[in-house]
Amino acid sequence: MTPLFQAVRRFAGEVWSVYFTLLKVMVPALIVVKLLDLVGATAVLAQGIGPLMQLVGLPESMGIVWAAAMLTNIYTGMIVFVEYAAHEPLTVAQVTVLGSMILVAHSLPVEGAVARAVGVSWRATIALRVGGALALGMMLNLAYGLSGTLQAESRLLWQPLPVDDSLAIWALDQLRLLLFVLVAIATLMALLRLLRVLGVERLMHWLLSPVLRLIGIRREAANITIIGTTLGLSYGAGLLIREARQGALSRRDVFLTMGFLGLCHSVIEDTLLILLLGADLSGILWARLAFALLVIGVLARLSFLDRRLAAPERP
């Protein structure tokens, strides 16, 4: 057996190990999400959070948009938004507030399950992301209201195509998603190895060290933070699983990294999607990024967090 074959085989084993861990989490979560959607859980959640929308300057009807995004994904939230926005015109500021909240808190059953697999509890995920979304929404609403900016009526830049919502099509879409995740994980792990060999990883650590120090994350988590922030939480979490198993990251690093990614991930694709609804970059990108840095920076300096994470992990 040649050294090259051994290296490829070892790499394939590592990729499959990370992917299989995500599969065990994502497949049940995707099924639960579909079942919740079928039994009308979105409407029930919308009734509960409808009154909260007034806190962020939005009509109660927008509660179902956020509920749809939280229980399913951003795309579903966008489709619901188009339907309701036709009867309830919103300003650019309002769409920006709603879009920022969706970007912070969406796909919670799936992404929460992924975070749990890494070691972050459901309670922490929901508190950080739902609470963070409301806090960011209130701050943006206050800022836009006091400054009088973005008060023009928003313009929708996207219209959804007719979709076949049969179970067969849904299952096929989920299969495509899971296959894409496998390809993405293999590509990212290969890219990380290449960056390490070329010395680029060291340069990235040096460039990011001021920001990482600000949010209390060691430089060993730099590349994972970049990947999760730009591409998505699940990809960052998949790589976190591998690094944590190898002992390269502490529980504190894992918690703070996942906390940051929970508040600010997939800044390219997700941000572009919300822009199509008529939102402004000032809130959905820059304010969201600054908010994530601020919140995680504060959490990193709380002494009780260090004590909690230093305690033995519960089985």
**93-152 residue pLDDT tens:** 999 999 999 999 999 998 998 888 888 999 999 999 999 999 999 999 999 999 999 999
- Residue 164: pLDDT above 80? no
Q: Residue 295: what pLDDT? A: 95
In 3D space, the residue among 242, 251, 244, 207 whose CA is nearest the CA of residue 226 turns out to be 207
pLDDT above 70 as % of the chain:
91
- Residue 272: pLDDT above 70? yes
Whole-number Å distance between alpha carbons of 76 and 67: 10
* Alpha-helical regions (H) of the chain: 3-38, 41-49, 63-71, 74-85, 92-104, 108-118, 122-147, 167-198, 200-214, 222-230, 233-245, 251-263, 269-275, 281, 288-300, 303-310
Q: Residue 315: what pLDDT? A: 45
b/e per residue, 198-219, with b = 16+ CB within 10 A?
eeebeebbeebeeebeebbbbb
Which of 164-173, 203-212, 263-272: highest mean pLDDT? Answer: 263-272
85-104 tens-digit pLDDT: 878 889 999 999 999 999 99
In this structure, is the dihedral angle defined by the CA atoms of residues 199, 203, 209 and 211, taken in order, positive or negative?
A: negative
Whole-number Å distance between alpha carbons of 61 and 88: 8
* Cβ-based burial of 14 (10 A; exposed 0-12, middle 13-18, buried ≥19): middle
Mean of per-residue pLDDT scores for the chain: 85
- For the record, the structure tokens of 271 come out as 């941000």
Whole-number Å distance between alpha carbons of 178 and 10: 22
Separation in Å, CA 149 to CA 97, 140, 143, 280, 285: 13, 11, 8, 11, 17
Q: Residue 129: what pLDDT? A: 97
- Residue 310: pLDDT above 60? no
- Residue 55: pLDDT above 50? yes
Maximal C-alpha separation, the chain: 69
Mean per-residue pLDDT, 199-213: 75
Mean per-residue pLDDT, 298-304: 81
- Residue 312: pLDDT above 60? no
Beta-bridge partners for 153: 91
Which residues lie closer than 8 Å to 25 by C-beta, 6 or more apart?
113, 114, 116, 117
Report pTM. Answer: 0.85
The number of residues in the chain equals 315
Which of 71-80, 185-194, 203-212: highest mean pLDDT? Answer: 71-80
Whole-number Å distance between alpha carbons of 139 and 294: 13
Whole-number Å distance between alpha carbons of 145 and 94: 10
- Residue 220: pLDDT above 80? no
Q: Residue 285: what pLDDT? A: 95
The terminus-to-terminus CA distance of the chain in angstroms comes to: 40
Q: Predicted confidence band at 170 (pLDDT cuts at 50, 70, 90)? A: confident
- Residue 9: pLDDT above 60? yes
